[in-house]
Chains A and B, each alone.
Chain A
Amino acid sequence: MAEPVHVEVVRSGLQTTIQDGGRPGYLSRGIPPAGPQDYRSFALASVLVGNPLPPPPLTPGDPGLAGLEMLATGPTLKFDGPAVIALTGGHVDATLDREPVPTWTAVAVEAGATLRVGKVGPGMRAYLAVAGGIDVLPYLGSRATYVRGGQGGLEGRALRKGDRLPIGPASDAVAPGRSVAEAARRRLDERPWTVRVVPGPQDHLFTERGLETFFTAEWQLSPTSDRMGFRFLGPALELRERPEYLVRDAGSGPADIVDDIIPIGGIQVPGGIEPIAMGVENPTAGGYAKIGTVISTDLGVLGQIRPMDPVRFEAVTVDEAQQTARDELAAIAEAP
């Protein structure tokens, strides 16, 4: 068998991680799914290069093939053999041997070429898919990197200069030049960003005023945000008085509850200030009231907001959120 094509990491970028569809099924062990924070962008990159459509967050099944999630500043990569790639997600002005590379398009890479991804923006996370996928050893069925837990990907960590990544065999469906229609791409120009939220599970612990403040205020993403949690700066949210037994059982803080499950997208509000929306590396349980849950399709929006960008939260019903998720999957399937 021929030696696989390798990609050498010449520059690592700020935080470049190997991701596939993720590692669902281990929430009861405290293990979050990981995978791409912006599923839509990652999935579109994958199908552009002829890789299988990865499953959306928390959906069981084959996680598909692995690509890269690139935070803020992307890597420089040298290919020792031919490949087909696609760049999606946050905008990048990438070059291939100093020639501009179109984004949202399948691009052929010649043996020996160097891809320089550079700065990401607008948006915060760019995605790179390679036909055949990055073929590192799966951990618990997935190649996704859980950065904070040190699992998956390459040694459970972000890529470093000098890493060599083997590329798997490409499918016959590879077709350089194919691209994603404008309408199906991740929108990056909206200000304030809109993040849709299903209220609950503890919206009842907030006052009417607290809820209204949450859904009307203009928030800003705090710089202390990552794939575990996205923290928002803005007004304090008023909580209801708690009965004495909750003070005894859960603690004296106004948002303290007896620990329960935190879903991905769950928005904790410790002490009633600085809501934290959980990302794809969420802590799976915790003891602060959650005012709502970011819907699964908008986990990707979270992943594209830059620190201090303005953000609004919009309330939607579960039915609307589930319909949105189904519509998005259909749109991704027919995009390229």
Chain B
Amino acid sequence: MIYDEPIYRPLGDCMLGVEFGDEANLELSFKVLELERLVREAKITGIVETVVSLRELALVLDRTKTTNAKVQEALDRVIAELGEVKTLPSRRWLLPCWYDDPWSSELAARYGVENNLEIVARENGLTKEQVVERHTSGEFWVVCVGFTPGCYFSAPLDPAMHMAAPKWKTPRDYTPARCLALAGFSTGAYPVASPGGYQLLGRLAVNIYEPHPRNAAFPPDGVLLRAGDRIRYRAVDALEYDRIWTEVEAGRYEYDVVTEDFDVAGYVREFGRTSATGGGVS
């Protein structure tokens, strides 16, 4: 649900959460990002860091300088100013991906599970080809960067692109870096080789995390994406994957990225209060 009034949630003595709802609805993400912007502008004493998830703004507090009560009082005033969200700062990324790649297939075979793209296809009443077609047909909205360095959660902006899949029953202990994967409503990619449970769709030809950045697209912390970014995936074949990856390794790949505000009001007019899961209005 989307709450009538945001709810404060204590996150121990170091952090405080402001939650707008508990469902997977992009309208919550827009509000969270707008509130984050206003909170940063307000420069409230004792708030030293802001972090967003799809449905909540979390604040790191300097507990030697403030208390939750003082911060909440200041936040109440900021929240009162929070009107309809019109635009949000955003970037549009075009990321090349080799769908149905050999690493993902081999991994599934090694763990004795079906090719994950087949699983996603069946779960959504599609063919493998239709899954790829749908997954590349429009933009995904990055709702949160986190879990591990550079990892992200994203949902398609166009509800017609919605697909869902369950996680692996038993998580695998290894996933190659840059594998693009889906579980629940969310698409994400593995920044580095790691355990995981999402269904593998393909492998990105580019890095989303470079802890010691070689490419100018990365900030010093090496994390490519930010909440509020938009990603469109472009299907590439083996030859193109190879060509791009060679450039990435040499540090001279040029990311296809455009900085462009996102027209939230226009989006909401077109799609209404759309759940990220395609479930419609709650």
| Interface of A toward B, CB cutoff 8 Å | 24-31, 57-60, 140, 148-151, 198-202, 243, 245-246, 248-252, 257-261, 263-266, 283-287, 293-296, 318-319, 321-322, 324-326, 329
Contact = CB atoms under 8 A, between A and B. Distances in A.
**Chain A, interface SS category:** mixed
Contact of B58 (A25, A199, A252, A263): A263
A314 B66 CA distance: 24
18 contacts: A28-B146, A29-B145, A29-B223, A30-B146, A30-B223, A31-B221, A200-B10, A248-B279, A249-B185, A250-B184, A260-B54, A260-B56, A265-B12, A266-B12, A285-B53, A296-B13, A321-B12, A322-B63
Contacts of B279: 245, 248-249
Contacts of B64: 59, 325-326, 329
A60 to B, nearest CB: 5
Interface residues of B, number: 57
A151 B209 CA distance: 13
Contact of B55 (A30, A31, A260, A296): A260
B53 A60 contact: no
A148 to B, nearest CB: 8
A60 B65 CA distance: 12
Contacts of B186: 259
Nearest to B67: A322
A320 to B, nearest CB: 9
Nearest to A326: B64
Contact of A261 (B56, B184, B226): B56
Contacts of A293: 10-13, 15
A318 to B, nearest CB: 5
A28 B185 contact: no
Contacts of A249: 23-24, 184-185, 275-277, 279
Interface of B: 1, 9-15, 17, 19, 22-24, 48-56, 58, 60, 62-64, 67-69, 144-151, 153, 166-167, 184-186, 191-192, 211, 220-221, 223, 226-227, 275-277, 279, 282
A260 B10 CA distance: 13
B11 A266 contact: yes
Given A28-B227, A59-B64, 11 more contacts: A28-B49, A30-B145, A30-B149, A59-B48, A198-B12, A198-B13, A201-B19, A249-B275, A259-B186, A266-B11, A319-B67
B175 to A, nearest CB: 15
B180 to A, nearest CB: 17
Contacts of B153: 259, 285
A252 B148 CA distance: 24
B147 A201 contact: no
Contacts of B56: 260-261
A263 B64 CA distance: 18
A265 B185 CA distance: 27
B155 to A, nearest CB: 10
A114 B167 CA distance: 51
Contacts of A324: 13
A27 B12 contact: no
B124 to A, nearest CB: 14
A243 to B, nearest CB: 8
Nearest to B164: A248
Contacts of B147: 30, 259, 283-286
Contacts of B49: 24-25, 27-28, 58, 60
